[in-house]
Chain A
Amino acid sequence: MPILTYRDALNQALREEMERDPDVFLMGEEVGVYQGAYKVSRGLLEAFGDRRVVDTPITELGFAGVGVGAAMVGLRPVVEFMTWNFALLAMDQLINSAAKMLYMSAGQVPIPIVFRGPGGAALQLGAQHSQAFESWYAHVPGLKVAAPATPADAKGLLKAAIRDNNPVVFLEGEMLYNTKGEVPEGEHVVPLGSADIKRAGDQVTIVCHSKTVALAEKAAAQLAERHELSAEVVDLRTIRPLDTATILASVRKTNRCVVVEEGWPFCGVGAQVVDEIQREAFDHLDAPVLRVTGADVPMPYNRQLEKASKPSVERIIEAVKAVSYLD
């Protein structure tokens, strides 16, 4: 199987879907001539022309709305935000327009659109350029939210998102673009709403997504090696719809759980996961579920402070040991 970067896997998904469906087009800042701020759209302008690869002014509210309007009349836009930090300016279009249109129109006006771009904690970019938005969008009925961890999932989920008839918020890991992995060629579609067991285990469940999957896998390897503890790594892949069945099946097997995310703890993705577990698997739990999250502060610039604010392999191991009553 070919080895691709996460970035090129996304590029392949875009290219294949644009070849497959003439109604799919890409719009955003620097997606064309500049080849993408993060080069996800490299070569697409040359392949598809400026009718289908559209450079926009720096006007997130405006072009997000243009995308939704085009979707209202049947096109299938892929709207790139240079980063999700800038998408706050477009929040009204995502929530009040995209998410609610189908409902307000009693099913007459579906919005088949993908909003995509890099998100999550970055590296020394400071408070306004370094944050995870999963829980913000996952809160909203009408939106779907995907956050792939691997190149293969990046391709498969993006293809599924483009084919979906609903607005999909597609959060790419800014720090994942250069990571490499095997990516199936051609028709590789990962359904939205299916979590993936990235590592099987039977003594503790680590629920994670996006960049924290790699941390959880490292933690699981160290736990096996140093503590003879078998951890199962459940990668959510999509936050909404949430694959509750896979989470619960794992927790019913392991009886212990740690939930990891880069976002802030208050009303975070982990809060929702814990709620599902306490209601549906209460009798299976041998310990309270613990969460490992980003610190409850705006992201600091200083490298050491930044490091301390992010989830880490060490903090995951510490939490796993705590729910296992070790040390």
Chain B
Amino acid sequence: MSTTVAAPALDKTRAEFYRGLLRDMLRIRRFEEKAAEAYALGKIGGFCHLYIGQEAVAVGSIAALRADDYIMCSYREHGHALARGMSARTVMAELFGKATGCSGGKGGSMHLFDASKGFLGGHAIVGAHIPLVTGAAFAIKYRDTEQVAVCYYGEAAVNNGAFHEALNMAALWKLPAIYLCENNRYGMGTALERASAIYDIAERACSYDMHAETVDGMDVLAVHDATVRAAQLAREKKLPTLLEVRTYRFMGHSMSDPIHGHYRTREEVEEQRRKDPITGLFKRLESEALMSQADFDAMDKDITTECDDAVKFADESPEPEPSELHTDVYKA
């Protein structure tokens, strides 16, 4: 059932759309660079898992969704929140643990929420949100709407029982879900081939008679188009899809993990960096005269201003009131 579709050619009438994708990816990149700086300064606590290198996955797929679709992510979800249209201010403020953050400072980097955008969390137990997304897809079918529920998780989660249990039910009950595996090759420091008995994650879908595709996660357009196909299958036929999107994390697992060292070499990281999804799309746009270096620089400047503003906003925002400690434990 697994297929691999070649990267689409550029359609010049869609230049604005492509530039939008580039902008969204660059926005995540600059935001994450600012987050890394703030973390080093002690402004952000706890764990902080950067998304640099994987931007094409969130941006390409979320661009293929409707505003009323549901999204759930793992703990590496700053990029998805931004791609979903959450403001840099509210996401950065959450990383800073401030009252103005998208989760009121109670969630942190791993628990970003904006229910009004169908953005239902970062979840920090590997694989545990895969059944949750299946539940959202169950609700969509129950209500007979044409929404889709999308789950983002790393390739390490596919060895987890939650993944198997959820995908089995989604296929059994024909639920409108997209299980988008961000295969960045490493579950923390353990390479895919050291953790999984099979290398091609998409093949796992055979167990559930589920449609699957393997997608180049460094090509935002390929990710977008694959998600369009999966969403169409979900909306029209209420069928789930497993998308294996092959990507790479340019940074360490978290801020405490060096970029290379015990489990991967400098050479490997440098080779992957040559496939940078942002540079890749820009070069294509430039070569077809859809964008100039000056355009890019102007875009970058705008984004940098937005991210600087987000850091300033987060820094100057108030801490949660002490009384917030005891709110939101129970709903009235």
What is the chain A residue whose CB lies nearest that of B104? A106
A68, A112, A141, most chain B CB atoms within 10 A: A68
Stretch at the interface among B107-115, B300-308, B311-319: B107-115
Whether B327 sits at the interface, judged by CB under 8 Å, is yes
Q: Mark A42-71, 1 if CB is under 8 A from B, else 0.
A: 000000000100001101011111111111
Flag if B106 contacts A66 (CB, 8 Å): no
Whether B172 sits at the interface, judged by CB under 8 Å, is yes
User: Known contacts being A66-B131, A142-B329, A165-B331, is A105 close to B142, with CB within 8 Å?
Assistant: no
Flag if B107 contacts A106 (CB, 8 Å): yes
**Complex Cα distance A294/B162, Å?**
33
Flag if B107 contacts A73 (CB, 8 Å): no
Flag if A166 contacts B135 (CB, 8 Å): no
Whether B148 sits at the interface, judged by CB under 8 Å, is no
Q: Mark B126-142, 1 if CB is under 8 A from A, else 0.
A: 00111111111111101
Q: Chain A residues with Cβ under 8 A from B294's Cβ? A: none
Flag if B330 contacts A61 (CB, 8 Å): no
Q: Chain B residues with Cβ under 8 A from A65's Cβ? A: 128-132, 134-135, 162, 165-166
What is the chain A residue whose CB lies nearest that of B110? A104
Flag if A56 contacts B169 (CB, 8 Å): yes
Stretch at the interface among A13-21, A90-98, A119-127: A90-98
Whether A75 sits at the interface, judged by CB under 8 Å, is yes
Flag if A106 contacts B162 (CB, 8 Å): no
User: Known contacts being A65-B128, A65-B162, is A72 close to B135, with CB within 8 Å?
Assistant: yes
Q: Chain A residues with Cβ under 8 A from B139's Cβ? A: 69-70, 73-75
**Complex Cα distance A112/B331, Å?**
9
**Complex Cα distance A107/B72, Å?**
17
Q: Chain A residues with Cβ under 8 A from B133's Cβ? A: 69
User: Known contacts being A69-B138, A102-B329, A106-B104, is A93 close to B169, with CB within 8 Å?
Assistant: no
Q: Chain B residues with Cβ under 8 A from A69's Cβ? A: 72, 131-139, 149
Flag if B329 contacts A68 (CB, 8 Å): no
User: Known contacts being A106-B113, A109-B113, A166-B330, is A73 close to B70, with CB within 8 Å?
Assistant: yes
Whether B120 sits at the interface, judged by CB under 8 Å, is yes
Shortest A192–chain B CB gap in Å is 10
Flag if A51 contacts B142 (CB, 8 Å): yes
User: Known contacts being A62-B168, A70-B142, is A103 close to B328, with CB within 8 Å?
Assistant: yes
Flag if A104 contacts B107 (CB, 8 Å): yes
Q: Chain B residues with Cβ under 8 A from A62's Cβ? A: 131, 134, 161-162, 165-166, 168-169
Flag if B111 contacts A104 (CB, 8 Å): yes
**Complex Cα distance A65/B127, Å?**
11
Flag if A108 contacts B115 (CB, 8 Å): yes
Whether A110 sits at the interface, judged by CB under 8 Å, is yes
Q: Chain B residues with Cβ under 8 A from A84's Cβ? A: none
Q: How many residues of B contact A (CB 8 A)?
A: 43
A61, A112, A142: which contacts B165 (Cβ < 8 A)?
Answer: A61
Flag if A107 contacts B327 (CB, 8 Å): yes
Flag if B166 contacts A106 (CB, 8 Å): no
Flag if A141 contacts B329 (CB, 8 Å): yes
**Complex Cα distance A166/B135, Å?**
17
Whether A25 sits at the interface, judged by CB under 8 Å, is yes
Q: Chain A residues with Cβ under 8 A from B107's Cβ? A: 104-106
Q: Chain B residues with Cβ under 8 A from A93's Cβ? A: 128, 131-132
**Complex Cα distance A59/B138, Å?**
16
Whether B289 sits at the interface, judged by CB under 8 Å, is no
Flag if B103 contacts A71 (CB, 8 Å): no
**Complex Cα distance A12/B137, Å?**
29
Q: Chain A residues with Cβ under 8 A from B168's Cβ? A: 57, 59, 62
A59, A67, A110: which contacts B135 (Cβ < 8 A)?
Answer: A67
Q: Chain B residues with Cβ under 8 A from A74's Cβ? A: 139
Q: Chain B residues with Cβ under 8 A from A71's Cβ? A: 135
Shortest A53–chain B CB gap in Å is 12
Q: Chain B residues with Cβ under 8 A from A92's Cβ? A: 125, 128
Shortest B62–chain A CB gap in Å is 18
What is the chain B residue whose CB lies nearest that of A66? B135
Shortest A164–chain B CB gap in Å is 8
Q: Chain A residues with Cβ under 8 A from B327's Cβ? A: 107
Whether B9 sits at the interface, judged by CB under 8 Å, is no
Whether B89 sits at the interface, judged by CB under 8 Å, is no
Whether B332 sits at the interface, judged by CB under 8 Å, is yes
Whether A101 sits at the interface, judged by CB under 8 Å, is yes
Q: Chain A residues with Cβ under 8 A from B80's Cβ? A: none
Flag if A25 contacts B142 (CB, 8 Å): yes
Q: Chain A residues with Cβ under 8 A from B72's Cβ? A: 69
Shortest A189–chain B CB gap in Å is 16
Flag if A96 contacts B128 (CB, 8 Å): yes
Shortest B87–chain A CB gap in Å is 16
B129, B169, B331: which contacts A102 (Cβ < 8 A)?
Answer: B331
Shortest B68–chain A CB gap in Å is 10
* 27 A-B pairs (CB sep. < 8 Å): A59-B169, A62-B161, A62-B165, A63-B169, A64-B131, A65-B165, A65-B166, A66-B131, A66-B138, A67-B135, A68-B131, A69-B134, A70-B135, A73-B120, A93-B131, A97-B128, A104-B121, A105-B107, A105-B111, A106-B103, A106-B106, A107-B327, A107-B331, A108-B115, A141-B329, A142-B329, A165-B331
Q: A51-B142, A72-B132, A104-B107 are in contact. List 15 more A-B contacts (CB 8 A).
A: A56-B169, A59-B165, A61-B165, A62-B168, A63-B169, A65-B134, A66-B138, A69-B133, A69-B138, A70-B135, A73-B135, A73-B136, A105-B115, A106-B328, A109-B113
Ranked nearest first, the 5 interchain pairs of A and B with the lowest CB-CB distance are: A69-B135, A65-B131, A62-B165, A106-B104, A69-B132
